A and B are shown apart, each in its own frame.
Chain A
Amino acid sequence: QITLKESGPTLVKPTQTLTLTCTFSGFSLSTSGVGVGWIRQPPGKALEWLALIYWDDDKRYSPSLKSRLTITKDTSKNQVVLTMTNMDPVDTATYYCARKQQLVRQDWFDPWGQGTLVTVSS
């Protein structure tokens, strides 16, 4: 069974740095084709992809947030960490991590973690 779970602060102040950890089980991030991504969802709004890290440590970021994001992995701990700098109230959202599954050139996110709500407020 594959599971992912996000952890981190529920409340951060404006200008602070957010650090979120995705702890997963049931798969290895050293397996070719596998990745872990972060997606967020502001309350009542749509999903927004943030970042992705591949099994070979290749990394991709949303261009609009690239300057603020860093994604890393610790394969031995089965963890992926996302940091987002200079947090603002508009960054208030539920943050999800999800496994990126790949078949030939097709890929998709499955499964997803339960999500963690992060509120940015002073």
Chain B
Amino acid sequence: DIQMTQSPSSLSASVGDRVTITCRASQSISNYLNWYQQKPGKAPKLLIYAASSLQSGVPSRFSGSGSGTDFTLTISSLQPEDFATYYCQQSYRTLYTFGQGTKLEIK
């Protein structure tokens, strides 16, 4: 299995802050990396696919980068609605695996 490790596990930030979440794969996955946002009691929502492509309808303050084993999700200016849990997911192998999640909380 390809293991996905996110850091940090939780993060406190304020509205307007720039935030970066990291995801590391246990082996090279090229750019086969997706990011999801999940709010309490809701289903995950796709934000970024193929490491850096913004899903239609997702605000441009979200961006993704990386290739190989190291990836980042950046929120350029946090908005109140961005406080949620974020997951990375590799699609390099059909045995899809997710990171453990990063919970973004209000400071």
Say whether B95 contacts A114, CB under 8 Å: no
Say yes or no: B49 contacts A115, CB within 8 Å.
no
- Within the complex, which residue of B91, B95, B100 is in contact with A108, where a contact is CB–CB below 8 Å? B91
Interface of B toward A, CB cutoff 8 Å = 1, 31-32, 34, 36, 42-46, 49-50, 55, 87, 89, 91, 94-101
Our pick among B31, B36, B95 for the contact of A62 (Cβ within 8 Å) is B95
Main secondary structure of the interface of B (DSSP, over half): loop
B96:A113 contact, CB within 8 angstroms: no
Q: Tell whether, in the assembled complex, residue A106 and residue B32 are in contact, meaning their CB atoms are under 8 Å apart.
A: yes
Majority SS at the chain A contact face:
strand
Complex: A108 Cα to B94 Cα, angstroms: 11
Q: How far is the CA of A106 from the CA of B49 in the complex (A)?
A: 8
Neighbouring B residues of A48 by C-beta, 8 Å = 98
A-side interface size class: 20 to 34
Binary flags per residue of A99-122, CB closer than 8 Å to B gives 1, else 0: 000010111111111110000000
Contact assessment for B46 and A109 in the assembled complex, using a CB-CB cutoff below 8 Å: yes
Among B1, B46, B50, B87, which residue has its beta carbon within 8 angstroms of that of A47? B87
**Are A63 and B95 interface neighbours, CB within 8 A?**
yes
Q: Would A108 and B43 count as touching, CB distance under 8 A?
A: no
Across-interface contacts of B94 in A (CB, < 8 A): 52, 60
A96 CB contact (under 8 Å) in B43, B49, B89, B101: B43
Residues of A within 8 A of B95 (CB): 49, 60, 62-63
Tell which of B1, B45, B46, B99 has the most Cβ of chain A within 10 Å: B46
